[in-house]
Amino acid sequence: MGDDPAETLRPATPAEAGDVRAMHAATRAAWDEAAERYEGWLAGAIELIRSGGTNLFGVEVELIGDLHGRCRRAIHLQCAGGRDTLSLWNLGAEEVVGVDFSPRMLELAARLTAATGAPARWVLSDVLDTPHELDGTADLVYTGRGSLMWLQDLDAWAAGIARLLSPTGRFVLFEGHPIEWLFDANEDGHWVATDYDYFAGPEASKGWAPEYIDRLSIPEAEQSWKFARAWTLGEVITALLGASLRLERVTEHPIDWWGGHSDVRPEERGRVPLSFSVVGRRQE
Ligand SMILES: C[S@@+](CC[C@H](N)C(=O)[O-])C[C@H]1O[C@@H](n2cnc3c(N)ncnc32)[C@H](O)[C@@H]1O
């Protein structure tokens, strides 16, 4: 972040917060800039996928299960550079479809496909507008790991998931826990409360966490604003129920899914939920 946090982090104005599409357009530009970091991870991703490996956490593999013979098509929403998408292929999906709105991310995904020969299709789209030709075709819709925070209309997101699922399809979400935004480590590695307002709605920011994207070749002040929010657990579950998904399992996990809390003492980890998962199906 810059020297003056107010210049790089602020609440969205009421006008901004009222315009979902404009917030998504800004976030899309910011993610296209951030794809630069994923370019550096491409060689490792090629090696991982070629070796038959998976980038998914053990808990995700457990929730998704063995896809061999059970999954003609898996659709990964907010697929970024495709590493997690092709992990689903290595888990046994016959075909994978990755959806993301960043052209630069999907260029990387296409390079990953070319290098691995994976049966993958990349769809450039906002997840709120996935093409109707995909409707009813997903035996698995998978998403998460830093996805929901960028979305500004969860009801439309959930309706899109219900639309993509085949009649027997499953939905698996593994995502950062919203409560994660309320906790940080002090200099001794103990948990302390942040100033984040759990119920505040979208905030606009420039710059990226050093543990994740870090500095880009574009100076922070010149980067696009991006809009993010911690959707509460209640908002996520209510949106999925509103789309008539039948939820089978909602679980909270202490897993630090992006390494953002690695400066917390080991003995203090494990008592704060840092991620959660949801498994659901289409309601017939
Ligand atoms: C943190 S990444 C997703 C995590 C992914 N598993 C990975 O490999 O890192 C977030 C992705 O969501 C995409 N994204 C954000 N908002 C989106 C939207 N409304 N529609 C489609 N893609 C979106 C971004 O372009 C970015 O590639």
CATH of the domain at 59: 3.40.50.150
Cα separation, 165 vs 138, in Å, equals 5
- Ligand 1 contact, 78 CB (< 6 A): yes
Q: How much distance in Å is there from the Cα of 128 to the middle of ligand 1?
A: 12
Report whether 173 contacts 143 (CB < 8 A): yes
Q: Is 150 in the pocket of ligand 1 (CB under 6 A)?
A: yes
H-helix or E-strand containing 42? helix 42-50
Residue nearest to ligand 1 atom 20, measured at CA: 126
- Token code pair at residue 171: 């939905």
Q: Which residues contact 190 (CB under 8 A, 6 or more apart)?
A: 264, 265, 268
Ligand 1 atom 9 nearest Cα: 80
Per-residue pLDDT of the chain (284 residues; tens, 9 = 90+): 344 565 799 999 999 999 999 999 999 999 999 999 999 999 999 999 999 999 999 999 999 999 999 999 999 999 999 999 999 999 999 999 999 999 999 999 999 999 999 999 999 999 999 999 999 999 999 999 999 999 999 999 999 999 999 999 999 999 999 999 999 999 999 999 999 999 999 999 999 998 889 899 999 999 999 999 999 999 999 999 999 999 999 999 999 999 999 999 999 999 999 999 999 999 87
- Please tell me if the CB atom of residue 159 comes closer than 6 angstroms to any atom of ligand 1: no
Q: How many domains is the chain partitioned into structurally?
A: 1
Domain that holds residue 249: 5-282
Q: Which two structure tokens, joined as six digits, stand for 56?
A: 């998914």
d(CA 56, CA 85): 10
What pTM was computed for the model? Answer: 0.96
Q: Judge if the beta carbon of residue 177 lies within 6 A of ligand 1.
A: no
Cα–Cα distance for residue pair 26/227, rounded to 1 Å: 7
Sheet containing strand 165-176, strands side by side: 120-124, 95-100, 73-77, 138-144, 165-176, 275-282, 245-253
- CB of 208 closer than 6 angstroms to any ligand 1 atom: no
